[in-house]
Amino acid sequence: MRYTPALIALLGLALPLGACTSQEETAAEPAAETPAAELTPEQEAAEEAEEQALSEFAETAWRVTAEDGARYVTYIDADGTYRDLRNGNPWQQGSWSFDKAPGDGGDSDLLCFIPDAEDARERCWEPGRLQDNELVVTSGGARRVSLEKVTYEAPEDATPEE
């Protein structure tokens, strides 16, 4: 199997699904039309689940080695952006989201990446379970890629929150 730039957007991730939204778009939407004090238990549980899902990938990093020996690392930042490095050098960047898969009854989540490049397409993957620092992600075309969890490093220009 050859790892191409399109394959690597979580280290290139590959399967376009137009239904995923970027983190910025999600943040721009109102959180809820009902004040927090009036939320039903189901609405509160849904909001908590959404926040937990986003936090599962925020501030994590993942590595894959391509057949040609190139090492790709993707840093998933809490602000909804990601950064890809190829052999330690900047390679690609963009935005990411973690949303329910469209039309599946809410049984699975998709980790989606939108590169900043002008001709880039959104790529989405369904993550499996993290086991021994390894995560297998699957595209809609059933392509599976094994990712190794590595130490997250914040962007150099990031300012610590106070």
Q: What mean pLDDT is predicted for residues 44-66?
A: 75
Is 93's pLDDT higher than 60?
yes
**CATH class of segment(s) 23-28+42-150:** mainly beta
* Distance between CA atoms of residues 145 and 15, nearest Å: 12
Query: What is the pLDDT, as a whole number, of residue 103?
Result: 67
For residue 63, is pLDDT > 60?
Answer: yes
Reported confidence tier of residue 41, pLDDT bands at 50, 70, 90 = confident
pTM of full prediction above 0.75: no
Q: Domain extents for the chain?
A: 23-28+42-150
- Nearest Cα neighbor of 126 from 4, 10, 41, 23 is 10
55 CB-side CA count, 13 A: 6
Q: Is the pLDDT of residue 55 over 90?
A: no
pLDDT band at 140 (very low <50, low <70, confident <90, very high): confident
Looking at residue 38, the DSSP 8-state letter turns out to be G
- Distance (Å, whole) CA 73 – CA 11: 6
